[in-house]
Amino acid sequence: MTIEIIATTRNTQGTGASRRLRKTGRLPGVVYGSGNAIAIEMDQNDLYYKLRNEAFHASVLKLNLDGKTESVQLRSFVMHPFRQQVQHIDFQRVDLNKKIHIKVPLHFLNADIAPGVKTGGGKISHVMTELDVTCLP
């Protein structure tokens, strides 16, 4: 499953420019990695719903930037303190021939039907909820 993000290059930078961008429903961001860092903008609503998808956080994404496609990985994002709004997002370019480091979430099945939990009133405590993986994309 490949997730695609559509973005355009952002010409204006700074706090005021980012505020004006957010008021129009666009989201400021940065793509960095091998080569120059590029300031980008994308649709805020579209990205908000993609961020709710767990696979978006733990996979290599396709960024369509002004018609050119790049492989990127989500590095960080900033949410508004009380609105359901993304303030800023960072992507890192991925070289498909080099190893990447990524955190993969763990899901535990049938925890609610375990005999100790179901009949004995026990609780399951998970020490680890994600794995650090280093691999080729």
Residue 2 confidence class, pLDDT cut points 50, 70, 90: confident
- The answer on pLDDT for 64 being more than 90 is yes
| pLDDT tops 90 at residue 26 | yes
| CA atoms within 13 A of residue 57's CA, in its CB half-sphere | 14
Of residues 8 and 112, more confidently modeled: 8
Segment 42-65 mean pLDDT: 93
- Give the pLDDT confidence score for residue 109 in this predicted structure: 87
Q: Which domains does the chain have, with CATH numbers?
A: 4-97 (2.40.240.10), 99-137 (no CATH)
pLDDT at 119: 83
Predicted confidence (pLDDT) per residue in 69-113, tens digit: 999 999 999 999 999 999 999 999 999 999 998 888 898 888 778
pLDDT at residue 108 in the model: 86
Average pLDDT over residues 117-133: 86
Contact 30, 40 (CB under 8 A): yes
27 versus 2: which is more confidently predicted?
27
Q: What is the mean pLDDT of the segment spanning 15-41?
A: 93
Contact 64, 4 (CB under 8 A): yes
Q: Which residues contact 41 (CB under 8 A, 6 or more apart)?
A: 7, 8, 9, 10, 21, 26, 27, 28, 29
In this prediction, residue 123 has a pLDDT band, given cuts at 50, 70 and 90, of confident
